[in-house]
Amino acid sequence: MHVVALGFGLGFVVAAAIGPISLLCIRTVLRGALGTGIAIGAGAAVIDATYALLGAIGAGRLLEIDALALTLGLVGAAVLALLGLRTLWSAFRVRLGGESDDEVATPARAFLTSLAATASNPTTILSWAAVFAAASTASAVDGTGETLLLCLGVGCGTLTWFTVLSLGLTAIRARVGDRLLKAVDIGSGLGLLLFSGALGVRAARDAQ
């Protein structure tokens, strides 16, 4: 398998797992913003590719420093908690076709929000480090050039998943009523808070 295809598959599969960025993308596109949904995917792709590269070059070792790991984990938890609370708040004030939250009002803002939200879990570097270790052991990746190509594939795979998700949601959003939109906001907000709590707890536990 070509190294770019391998990276693409990894990025696509990892992005397809339900997580905070998926929730953010779903509720944003259902508000009628295809461009912002794709921008969210672009932000996630940049961070995934960057973290994959950091994992490949051994940056995960820095997270063995308890104080650093705890700080990054708590900051990440705070970012997700803020997004979750804002999403819950919007569930009680937004009307179908009404204004979007400031964080996702334009593609540029959505991209920056996605960067912050995706980067909020720096321990992802450890996961990508494990992926690269496995790929290297299987002789799938050898040398700097192939490492960069794999990272490129990861980013492309992530962006492709979010683009497909955004297009699919765009196709059904005309059937989404005010009640369902509110339910999506509530579910997304609670989900973001759940991810925030899980990240905070894990950071505190790992630092002990």
In this prediction, what percent of the chain has a pLDDT beyond 90? Answer: 13
- Predicted confidence at residue 45, as pLDDT, reads 93
pLDDT of residue 98: 40
- What is the DSSP code (8-state) at residue 142? -
Query: Tell me, what's the pLDDT at 92?
Result: 64
Q: How far is C-alpha 75 from the chain's CA centre? A: 16
C-alpha to C-alpha distance for 116 and 65, rounded to whole angstroms: 22
Model confidence pTM above 0.85: no
Most confident range, picked from 67-71, 97-101, 199-203: 199-203
Number of helices (H) and strands (E), helices first, in the chain? 8, 0
Q: What is the mean pLDDT of the chain?
A: 77
Task: Please report the pLDDT score of residue 131 as a whole number.
Answer: 67
21-39 pLDDT tens trace: 888 888 888 877 889 999 9
Write out the two tokens for 133: 């270790």
Which two tokens mark 160? 């492709």
